[in-house]
Amino acid sequence: MIASVVVLYHPKTEEVLDNIRSYSAAVDKVLVWRNSSESFAIPSDLEKKAILMGNGENEYMAKPLNAALDWCEQNGYDFLLTMDQDSKWENAAHFIERATSLAEADVALYAPYTIGQYAKPEQDFDAESVITSGSLVNVKIAKKLGGFREDYQIYWVDGEFCYWARKNGYRIRVLHDCALIQQFGKQTRTLFGFSTSNYAPYIYYLLIRNMFWMKREFPEGVSIKTVLYTLMYNIRGILLGEKSKFCKLHHINKGIVHGLFSRFDRRPAVL
């Protein structure tokens, strides 16, 4: 059996429901996790399939994902489809059918290719990392690996899990003929035509801190090129096109310091 989980944060209700309907028929249950206080009513066409979870407090991403994995394990579900509220499928049923028909024992998760993130691939391939949204996670494998890192909260949760899975001998498999439409944050254009993310200060802190935490724990998992590009892209965007510049730069600086020098829990030895 297959469940999906979608994490809501200040959702635009009709848009989110439209996105949920793009995959609800392809799964057996939809877990709807509320990460903000707005009321969210399940419409009549989804009431037999959807379950509301979360208490309206912001638990970010990792904790809801782990709670959904626990629910799947307790209720006999084999796979968990992890979704963002901004994601919409072109053909979810085809993706689910393809992934479950393969169900290779050494694949931790299957993923579609994301429209706009990279060009449409010509064949299935093993990836180093994929985004959380659209991933069909093998529940048994994910639980064996210890689930998602809750201390990361949101950014690098997906990359860290993918790296940890690969380090333990599992594959991350992208299916070339399955497509996901994903909106990435609130990107806008800055002075000189660059793009910027417009994240809240604390989100910038988590993004940078977690990157350095992962670099310290898995040196080969994050390249120096990735570190430098991430810092350059976000600092440039803040300076050229965002408000609250000082506050955001302060949080990036704090993320660097804490990422490089603070203590944090590490994964156990390879399982």
The predicted-structure confidence for 124-177, as pLDDT tens digits, reads as follows 999 999 999 999 999 999 999 999 999 999 999 999 999 999 999 999 999 999
185 pLDDT more than 80 = no
For residues 260 and 190, the model is more confident at 260
pLDDT digits (tens, 9 = 90+) for 93-128: 999 999 999 989 999 999 998 876 667 788 999 999
Closest to 58 in 3D by CA, of 158, 200, 257: 200
- Strands (DSSP E) contained in 117-251 are 125-126, 135-138, 171-182, 188-189, 195-196
pLDDT digits (tens, 9 = 90+) for 213-254: 999 999 988 999 999 999 999 999 999 988 999 999 999 999
Of the chain, the percentage scoring pLDDT greater than 70 comes to 94
Closest to 160 in 3D by CA, of 266, 11, 7, 38: 266
3-class secondary-structure state, position 34:
strand
Residue boundaries of the structural domains of the chain: 2-182, 188-261
Give the dihedral of Cα atoms 170, 182, 61, 203; nearest 10 deg: 120
For residues 65 and 117, the model is more confident at 65
Facing residues of 31 across strands?
Answer: 5, 51
**Which fold, 2-182?**
Spore Coat Polysaccharide Biosynthesis Protein SpsA; Chain A (3.90.550)
Angle formed by the axes of helices 201-217 and 245-261, to 10°? 20
Place of tokens 């965002």: 242
